[in-house]
Amino acid sequence: MKHPHAILAALALGVAGLTAQDATPVPQPAMENFMQRSEKSQATLIENSNEILRRIGGIEKTLGKAGTVAATPDVSALEARLRELETKLATAPAAPETQASAEDKSAQTSVNAVWIVLTAALVFFMQAGFCMLELGFTRAKNAINICMKNFLDFCVGTLCFLFLGFGLMFGHSVAGLFGTGPFWISDVPANNMLWSFWFFQLVFCGTAATIISGAMAERTKFVGYLIFTALITGVLYPVIGHWAWGSFGGAFGYGGGKGWLEQLGYLDFAGSSVVHSIGGAAALAGVLVVGPRIGRFKSDGTANLISGHNMPLATLGVFILWLGWYGFNPGSTLVGDVNIGRIAVNTTIAPAAGAIAGMFAMWLHQGRPDLGMTINGALGGLVGITANCNLVAPASALVIGLVAGVIATFGSLLLERLKIDDAVGAVPVHLFCGWWGILSVAIFNEAGFSPHQLGVQALGVASITAAAFGASFIGFLLIDKIVGLRASEDEQDLGLDFTEHSGAAYPDFITGEQGLP
């Protein structure tokens, strides 16, 4: 057709007429009525088609006589106006939140703050669990010394982390190696979410520090231990932790920049390496420097059994630690949402499987089940699931826990064969099972196994372990040379309660050789 706009106008008129004619009430669906209406509709359609053709012809004649042939309308003005509106829309500020959406966001922020603080409190309560565990595994004559170390390492660590450690761990990154603050955060407003995040990270730092106490128990001087606590909470843990978690403060308006391991894609959700491998590696360095307890090994190298004085208390400690782990793992989401449910389930399955595996492993080894290895197997399962609890299915958590329980048991036997005296089995539980947890991130990831990710995980945990062990070994050596680290033979015989604190945890009972005739 010559004039498409005229044709479209005519078609519109025709369709309108057809619609008006068909808009009559529909009779009952009897066959005869249906046939009549069908014939009528066909006739109407033919009439409308003819009418459309007649109108098109008339329009063409009219346009031809007037000499106005417009192939396309002038739409340049409309196009210019459209471009103007698009530019304004692109540069306009975002529409303000509705009151409902603002209230929803505020409510979620409040939920997150409560969740972070409550789970951090659970992790803080793990300090009591570590204290009870170490008390039960060691002798009564050192009970006060154990309590003092577990209590004071958190107090010292709090101040060191406040003034130095937090800035080194989450501050503005320098080449992914360490943070540079700001170190002074006392003037941050009270309603800032940063405080919840700071508290949560503090209790993690305290956990890494207190792991060392148990491994070195019964022969380590109190002052030397506190000096190393200041070193690990103020410098070692924050700097090494920055490699994997350096950017985490950015979500709370603090610092920024990923650590070098984080840049490679290294994953450690809740700290199998950042917390437990650092603490375990430092504990291994400590026991090597301080040496074994008097009487732990015979002259021929075979081990003497030094029984703990209260295994029920140690079991209670593990129950407390297990409870605290529900803050450790689900709390690491830093968000109160539905994801915490399965993380909690995985955090239950893995230690249950670890305890059973640890029990049977020792049962097969010595012919009877052992309580100490059983509860340490549960702890191994907890450490093993910590790095990957957000990425694995419950069935995988079962396997991770079983393997971790075996690692914790035979890891303790390996240290004994090497004449390394770990009083509570901290190194196998936290260091060895921490390695297993980190590798499990790639092995059991729901998204599928990735050889590249496995390589990154191996590199990361090896780097963290080497740095933590090397720095701690040097630190303990310097402390031993400057202020002394190892208690003398007489001090160990009498008990550190008496020689270090002039007290007795159980004054009505003889707890050391000083009461013997």
Burial (CB < 10 A; 0-12, 13-18, 19+), residue 21, is middle
- Report the Cα 344 to chain-centroid distance in Å: 12
Confidence of residue 150 (pLDDT cuts 50, 70, 90): very high
383, 434 in Cβ contact below 8 A?
A: yes
Token readout for 489 is: 């033979």
Confidence of residue 135 (pLDDT cuts 50, 70, 90): very high
Among 235, 263, 270, 269, smallest CA distance to 247 is for 263
CATH number of 108-501: 1.10.3430.10
Does the structure show a pLDDT above 80 at 48? Answer: no
Domain residue ranges in the chain: 108-501
Does the structure show a pLDDT above 60 at 267? Answer: yes
497, 483 in Cβ contact below 8 A?
A: no
Confidence of residue 20 (pLDDT cuts 50, 70, 90): very low
pLDDT of residue 69: 46
Does the structure show a pLDDT above 70 at 36? Answer: no
Does the structure show a pLDDT above 50 at 215? Answer: yes
464, 279 in Cβ contact below 8 A?
A: no
pLDDT of residue 6: 42
- Interval 253-274 mean pLDDT: 96
Burial (CB < 10 A; 0-12, 13-18, 19+), residue 275, is buried
- φ, ψ dihedrals at 296, nearest 5°: -70, -35
Q: How many other CB atoms sit within 10 Å of the CB of residue 265?
A: 12
% pLDDT > 90, the chain? 76
Cα–Cα distance, 355 to 382 (Å, whole number): 10
Among 107, 202, 113, 106, smallest CA distance to 160 is for 202
- Interval 365-371 mean pLDDT: 95
- Interval 412-417 mean pLDDT: 96
Among 225, 260, 231, 214, smallest CA distance to 161 is for 231
pLDDT of residue 56: 66
Enumerate the β-bridge partners of residue 172.
Answer: 256
- Interval 358-385 mean pLDDT: 97
Q: What are the start-end ranges of the H helices in 97-193?
A: 99-137, 143-160, 166-170
Sign of CA dihedral 283, 285, 287, 289: negative
Q: For 425-480, how does the pLDDT look when each residue is reduced to its tens digit (9 = 90+)?
A: 999 999 999 999 999 999 999 999 999 999 999 999 999 999 999 999 999 999 99
Q: Which of 27-31, 113-117, 466-470 is the least confident region?
A: 27-31
- φ, ψ dihedrals at 455, nearest 5°: -65, -40
Q: Which of 48-52, 270-274, 334-338 is the least confident region?
A: 48-52
pLDDT of residue 19: 41
Which residues 6+ apart lie within 8 Å of 468 measured at CB? 236, 240, 277, 278, 281, 282, 285
Confidence of residue 34 (pLDDT cuts 50, 70, 90): low
Q: For 315-346, how does the pLDDT look when each residue is reduced to its tens digit (9 = 90+)?
A: 999 999 999 999 999 999 999 999 999 999 99
- How far CA 413 is from CA of 209, 356, 418, 422, 433, in Å, comes to 24, 17, 9, 11, 14
- How far CA 342 is from CA of 109, 114, 509, in Å, comes to 22, 20, 48
Q: Which of 64-73, 118-127, 301-310, 321-330 is the least confident region?
A: 64-73
Token readout for 438 is: 């980190």
Q: State the maximum Cα–Cα separation within the chain, in Å, rounded to a whole number.
A: 137
Place of tokens 């590199």: 459
Among 145, 226, 230, 224, smallest CA distance to 483 is for 224
Average pLDDT value over all residues in the chain: 88
